[in-house]
Chain A
Amino acid sequence: MKVKVWGARGSVPAPGPETMRYGGNTSCLQVTLSDGTPLILDAGTGIRTLGLACPAPMNQFPILLTHLHLDHIQGLLFFAPSFQPENNLTIWGPSAGEASLEDRIARYISAPLSPVEVRELPCHVSFRDSPTTEWEIGPARIQAASVTHRGPTLGYRITDGDESLCYIPDHEPVLGGPLDECDPEWISGFELAQGVDLLVHDCQYRDEEYPTHVGWGHSSITDALHFCRRVEARNVLLFHHDPLHSDEMLDAVGELAAEYWSDHGGDPSVLTMAVEGAELEVTGAALSPRPG
């Protein structure tokens, strides 16, 4: 599996000179499966540039949404392939009792927030609740599970042959209790992420910022790393950067993360800070940067 980061920012786009290296676009990952099938994880503003880079037409676009907060769907309206009638978009996302996935997304893609309605999109688009049982897209097996965040929110595990990737961009597992003391069965996301080759995980807050953001649905850097250690992830991509965090601050977060990992007996080379535009290859044993 190959992974490309199209947006690593959380909450709101953060363009500007202070965020140029890590990037300002919100959550969007492209996973290219072993047969070349592209899988898109979340549709933050990063999906706009992904769409511009797609050779047209590509026909099939499976998009897995973790949840419907704006930083994960804002780019949908600006995804160029959705304006090409030969394309088929299949959007998977969390179910909710009160309305269908399509109706909830249409709250954004409709007046007065949007000049276009979902039904006016030229492509063929279908909406599906992510099932609670495993399903297949191309050669990959997909698992979805609810995780601790505000509102219905999923994490995904994608297994393609011997390689596995778990994507939990918005996650506050420590709300379930101290991660050291909780049995695995009581840790949100544990089963989904256990032993995965690459875990893409929320690292929104620096430790000193977290106390004033408890319950907002995100992890402190230490809690994120603690979770990654508990699930024994082989490689970690730290993701969903706070919009207030400049490149320099994120460099410092990366250094702190490496120090924590070393202090706990780990090899800090398995940690990577997500950078917009970065391409990685999940090999089953290690994560290797791809020449960009």
Chain B
Amino acid sequence: MSQRPIELIHARNLMASISTPAFLVDGEATLVFYNDAAGSLLGRRFEETGPLPADRWGQEFGPVDPGGGRSPIDELPLTATLRQGRPAHARFCIHDHAGEPHEIDLSAVPIVASESEGFRGAMAFFWRVADGQGGSP
């Protein structure tokens, strides 16, 4: 497999170093990494799932409506970020590996390299609404 762009390597390093749940998606919308904090919430560590293409991570983790039914993936802020290259934020539900729904706030931010290299992917940071501002201070 070819070398990841340095911007994604840096983003992964940031995510691996923090306790804010976060995941990293490349320019083809493949989920290429999520950190241990996200793994705790999702019920599976990244080392267990490995990279997931867009259709797989949607199936794996949602989004779902408050009743547990599927929500359109088009409504995800990460989808807006990937398609339009802009930051996006939303509150919605995901489900963990055991099927348990969690209401989360999620902010997605595009990763744009220099002008000649362009769009690299996106970072998404999220936290459970039940946890308030998210994480321990």
A joins B in a complex: yes
Q: Report whether A186 and B4 are in contact in the complex, using a CB–CB cutoff of 8 Å.
A: yes
Q: Is B9 an interface residue (CB 8 A)?
A: yes
Q: With the chains together, A188 CA to B2 CA distance in Å?
A: 12
Report the bound CA distance from A152 to B117 in whole Å.
13
B1 x A175 contact (CB < 8 A): no
Given A176-B12, A186-B12, A188-B9, decide whether A152 and B114 contact each other with a Cβ distance below 8 A.
yes
Contact with B along A17-51 (1 / 0, CB 8 A): 00000000000000000000000000000000000
B16 at the interface (CB under 8 A from A): yes
Query: Does B99 make an interface contact (CB < 8 A)?
Result: no
Interface membership of A168, Cβ < 8 A: no
- Which chain A residues border B19 with CB–CB below 8 Å? none
| A145 close to chain B: CB less than 8 A | yes
- With a cutoff of 8 Å between Cβ atoms, the chain A residues found around residue B7 in the complex are 146
A175 adjacent to B115 (CB under 8 Å): no
Q: Which residues on the B side are within 8 Å of A146 (C-beta)?
A: 5-7
Q: What is the chain B residue whose CB lies nearest that of A131?
A: B116
A162 on the interface (CB 8 Å rule)?
no
Enumerate chain A residues within 8 angstroms of B16, measured Cβ to Cβ: 177
Q: Is the CB of A188 within 8 A of B114?
A: no
Nearest-CB residue, chain A, relative to B1: A185
Is B13 part of the contact surface with A, judged by Cβ < 8 Å?
Answer: yes
* Contact A95 to B9, CB < 8 A, known contacts A145-B3, A185-B4, A191-B2: no
Residues of A within 8 A of B114 (CB): 95-97, 152
Q: Are A129 and B116 in touch, CB under 8 angstroms? A: yes
Contact check: which of A131, A132, A176 meets B9 at CB < 8 Å?
Answer: A176
Q: Does A239 contact B (CB under 8 A)?
A: no
Q: How many A-B pairs fall under 8 Å by CB?
A: 46
Residues of B within 8 A of A147 (CB): 6
Instruction: Write out the residue numbers on chain A whose beta carbons fall within 8 Å of the beta carbon of B1.
Output: 183-185
Interface residues contributed by chain A, number (CB under 8 Å)? 23
Q: Give chain A interface residues in 212-264, CB to chain B under 8 Å.
A: none
Bound state CA distance, A152 and B2, in angstroms? 21
Q: Which residue of B lies closest to A152 (CB)?
A: B114
- CA gap between A129 and B9 in the complex, in Å: 22
Among residues of A, the one whose C-beta sits closest to the C-beta of B5 is A146
> Which residues on the B side are within 8 Å of A95 (C-beta)?
114-116
A42 to chain B, nearest CB (A): 19
Q: Which of A96, A177, A190 contacts B13 (CB 8 A)?
A: A177
Which residues does chain B contribute within 8 Å of A82, judged by CB atoms? none
- Distance in angstroms between the alpha carbons of A131 and B114 in the assembled complex: 12
A188 engages B12 (CB within 8 Å): no
> A129 to B114, alpha carbons, bound, how many Å?
11
CB nearest neighbor in B for A183: B1
Shortest B13–chain A CB gap in Å is: 5
The residues of B that contact A186 with a CB separation of less than 8 Å are: 4, 9, 12
Name the CB-closest residue of A to B16: A177
Give Cα A190–Cα B9 distance, bound, in whole angstroms: 12
Beyond A152-B114, A186-B4: 5 further Cβ-contacts under 8 Å? A131-B116, A146-B6, A148-B10, A185-B1, A190-B3
A residues with CB within 8 A of B: 95-97, 129, 131-132, 145-148, 152, 175-177, 183-188, 190-192
Residues of B within 8 A of A (CB): 1-7, 9-10, 12-13, 16, 114-117
User: Which 5 A/B pairs are nearest by Cβ-Cβ distance?
Assistant: A146-B6, A191-B3, A95-B114, A185-B1, A176-B9
Q: List 27 A-B contacts (CB under 8 A).
A: A95-B114, A95-B115, A97-B114, A97-B115, A129-B116, A132-B116, A145-B3, A145-B6, A146-B7, A147-B6, A148-B9, A152-B114, A175-B10, A175-B13, A176-B12, A176-B13, A183-B1, A184-B1, A184-B3, A185-B4, A186-B9, A186-B12, A187-B9, A188-B6, A188-B9, A190-B3, A192-B3
